[in-house]
Structure 1
């Protein structure tokens, strides 16, 4: 772990670089570096986890003076001799990076690992599936706010249903859950009956179970009580902080809640391309309850999604930002609102604001896998791929059956690090590669010199599609630093058999 204090003191890997005193200390004794090497280490420390181009380092250490790369190589060699070969990483054709983690993402360590299985819908009406799934997902989100319980994400938990006891040990082996929460929901109009059980997977025994009834929006009081009951049985001491943080302004209409859940189900479906259908449901939810903050948040998300390919206009993104702001004003303690606002700000290339909102989301819900994964993606866009990979790996641990985009974001961080083969392996997991996936995959193959495979990926992009691989690489990914866009474009240009554009590579 690395720590920086007021840009004057940097601690990483057992070493302390004190700029005020001009010293470098190891775990046991002071270390000596010649002035140029010390200057280079200082710049690398100030850019911890970022790939610093060779030209930038040479300008820092030898401003206005022409020197060969040999001078830089010799100084890097001196730094490595002092602090270890692995601490300064060479990224092929790009530069060097001080390979220390700027911070740790939340540890899950020895905490109880809980999976909330998909609840049974006992009403007999398929239209109630959204309410049933939403009820279970709200329990996941409520539990995840506690730093003392690790809750596996929806994608992994919902891969199993609350059915046969004989399947419980199999669930333990597949996703590593120590405890399961299973149950059922029956809805009749405004009347809801929920049954919930807590299972110890090691012994396949029930630790606790209860049955609840409510009318209308009393459903949320049930969720709160269930979360409190579960957490109190899994940890020795439970504070109310998580529950207080989880409290939200009750919606005034169960119908609005159901409409929003149905809309979000459309956004979750990877085969669903009708974003307008989801928008219509969120707009209907707002019409039912104009104070329903989460409906504004989801509407903002639906309108911003085209931003992944740089297709959303400034006007659309500004509208999404305003909707997300409205959602946060109505539900300020909802992590989802800050996570969506972070995504909108990222598409707007407001990277500082995007990270600000992402950190608030993680403070509100530090064990939400999607938020952890999104932080990794954001850090990649900010030019900090090493730090990003730590967050992405943590998200994958919490969601072992994670959705496909986790690996696609991980692949981009690996590409930025010059790890082209593992990046390609991650992208190859796509069952139906979209044009942007094929573009990234072609860039990986080209950087590895596998030109036939690179050209094949480019050829598979539909010529009639307005998608342009080069335009996507240069403008379609919301990188903060032009050098990162140029690096991706370099691979694409190689795959196309063209000379790199000015400033690329």
Structure 2
């Protein structure tokens, strides 16, 4: 009889028993029971307020196995040790009863829970144990900085080593994790090999895995880079898995966290054809949970995305700044909020504030690939493209499944460096040739002297938007701090349009 996989939630005595997740939680955190004690509590919860005969419990929990009543007594004793003596009552000569009224389960939209298990020391040398444990603990600390997952502390997750696949569901029932990170470290000669896997604890399936290798002498120097890459990929995988789960539910049943996930999916769509739909999800999340800071932050983002930032009005940007500020007041440690506020302030031409917010975001979460990438954009707009390219390369290494805007920002840094060919190649990867992408491509090809291609791109600029002005885009829409950088882009555009480069233009930078 499967008794720990039903999608039911029970609340009693300050505890929440979630049979779908296989968890028992208190306000202070997860509570742990051994599998048989958990199974007994599950049966009592499903018959809350009713006396369950001992024979019925034993048939359900130990089917086909001969055990004495001592096994049941021991399980009840363990449950009482966790819940207290008052909730589980013994009814003489009859059985046991969970003495609590059934409380209706509220709609739950909690963040995914991740446990980083203690890594295996494959080399077998006890002297390497501190390196192995430290590696796993760095992953815990890095992953904990992301606002979209809840990470169990070392004391909970390290109570297990990285067990075999058959034992993963048992780990889930004990520590309440939706996802497990398990792996191993081996020292082989002067090399250290690390293997990491991300596991869906509900069905014991592996979602992702990778291997890393470093020279022993240089391991400590590059360990942060390895952890950074792992954490960046894990965060993306966990978020995507949560979105897949949310997408299977009707909108009316979604809680705030899942509504935000759906909105983020629309924002990240390369086509970005439904920003209003994304905003509706975020506003619904705010309505469901007015104290949810991240939802307010994303409402602000959609205000600014109305015109892809470059074309956003000052009023839209002010509105965006206010929404993000409200979200940060509720969640001041939310790196995503500081990153989005940085973007808003950048397009308001408040360059110092933009860099300040982004550096705050990176202090909160130095492994966030989006924050690292955006630093490349901010530095490019501030006239430091060489430094920007280092940040952009780092973000692409952390998140090789790069979002489309990474390449767009990289192309602008390359253009400012005078590397027009790789800048054009980056833009050619675009899946949606918008007027501003056509404008940048035309400028790149003109600067290369490839005038046929430059003119071809220039001729296509106004197909999607007859009112789009390429020169205004360079001199007014792009948030360059220096007028000279705006003029550099405008010169390439003028060449493509057959105009004389270097003409004076009044800008609003």
Matches of 1:144 and 1:345 in 2, distance apart? 37
Aligned to 1:408: 408
Q: 1:464 to 1:298 in 2, by over 3 A?
A: closer
Matches of 1:447 and 1:198 in 2, distance apart? 50
Aligned to 1:346: 346
Aligned to 1:489: 490
Aligned to 2:319: 319
Judge conservation of contact 2:256–2:289 (CA < 8 Å) in 1.
yes
Judge conservation of contact 2:380–2:413 (CA < 8 Å) in 1.
yes
Distance apart, 1:420 and its partner CA: 0.9
Aligned to 1:396: 396
Q: 1:278 to 1:484 in 2, by over 3 A?
A: same
Q: 1:436 to 1:201 in 2, by over 3 A?
A: farther
When the two chains are superposed, the root-mean-square deviation of aligned CA atoms in Å is: 4.1
Matches of 1:277 and 1:205 in 2, distance apart? 40
Matches of 1:144 and 1:448 in 2, distance apart? 49
Q: 1:499 to 1:144 in 2, by over 3 A?
A: farther
Q: 1:271 to 1:401 in 2, by over 3 A?
A: same
Judge conservation of contact 2:421–2:448 (CA < 8 Å) in 1.
yes
Distance apart, 1:500 and its partner CA: 3.2
SS of the residue corresponding to residue 460 of structure 1 reads helix
Q: 1:434 to 1:210 in 2, by over 3 A?
A: closer
Aligned to 1:159: none
Aligned to 1:479: 480
Matches of 1:206 and 1:474 in 2, distance apart? 48
Aligned to 1:198: 182
Structure 1's unaligned 5+ residue stretches are 1-120, 123-130, 155-182, 185-191, 214-233, 247-252
State the Cα deviation string for residues 337-359 of structure 1 (Å, max 9, x = none).
10010011011111110000000
Q: 1:329 to 1:204 in 2, by over 3 A?
A: closer
Distance apart, 1:194 and its partner CA: 2.5
Distance apart, 1:361 and its partner CA: 0.2
Matches of 1:282 and 1:360 in 2, distance apart? 24
State the Cα deviation string for residues 101-136 of structure 1 (Å, max 9, x = none).
xxxxxxxxxxxxxxxxxxxx99xxxxxxxx79x738
Distance apart, 1:137 and its partner CA: 9.7
Matches of 1:405 and 1:193 in 2, distance apart? 33
Aligned to 2:38: none
Judge conservation of contact 1:308–1:476 (CA < 8 Å) in 2.
no
Structure 1 residues 463-478: aligned runs within 5 Å = 463=463, 465=465, 466-478=467-479
Distance apart, 1:147 and its partner CA: 8.1
Q: 1:288 to 1:275 in 2, by over 3 A?
A: same
Higher relative contact order (CA 8 A, sep 6+): 1
Structure 1 residues 20-39: aligned runs within 5 Å = none
Aligned to 1:433: 433
Q: 1:148 to 1:380 in 2, by over 3 A?
A: farther
Q: 1:370 to 1:137 in 2, by over 3 A?
A: farther
Q: 1:464 to 1:338 in 2, by over 3 A?
A: closer
Aligned to 1:221: none
Aligned to 1:172: none
SS of the residue corresponding to residue 462 of structure 1 reads helix
TM-score, normalising length: structure 2:
0.53
Aligned to 1:135: 112
Judge conservation of contact 1:404–1:430 (CA < 8 Å) in 2.
yes
Aligned to 2:455: 455
Q: 1:205 to 1:411 in 2, by over 3 A?
A: closer
SS of the residue corresponding to residue 461 of structure 2 reads coil
Aligned to 1:265: 265
Judge conservation of contact 1:147–1:366 (CA < 8 Å) in 2.
no
Matches of 2:459 and 2:505 in 1, distance apart? 22
Structure 2's unaligned 5+ residue stretches are 1-19, 22-108, 117-134, 147-167, 170-175, 187-192, 204-222, 236-252
Judge conservation of contact 1:408–1:427 (CA < 8 Å) in 2.
yes
Matches of 1:363 and 1:499 in 2, distance apart? 46
Distance apart, 1:484 and its partner CA: 0.6
Matches of 1:489 and 1:342 in 2, distance apart? 25
State the Cα deviation string for residues 138-191 of structure 1 (Å, max 9, x = none).
99xxx999589877x99xxxxxxxxxxxxxxxxxxxxxxxxxxxx99xxxxxxx
TM-score, normalising length: structure 1:
0.53
Matches of 1:411 and 1:258 in 2, distance apart? 34
The structure with more radius of gyration: 2
Matches of 1:496 and 1:295 in 2, distance apart? 43
Judge conservation of contact 1:308–1:347 (CA < 8 Å) in 2.
no
SS of the residue corresponding to residue 430 of structure 2 reads coil
SS of the residue corresponding to residue 481 of structure 2 reads coil
Matches of 2:278 and 2:299 in 1, distance apart? 8
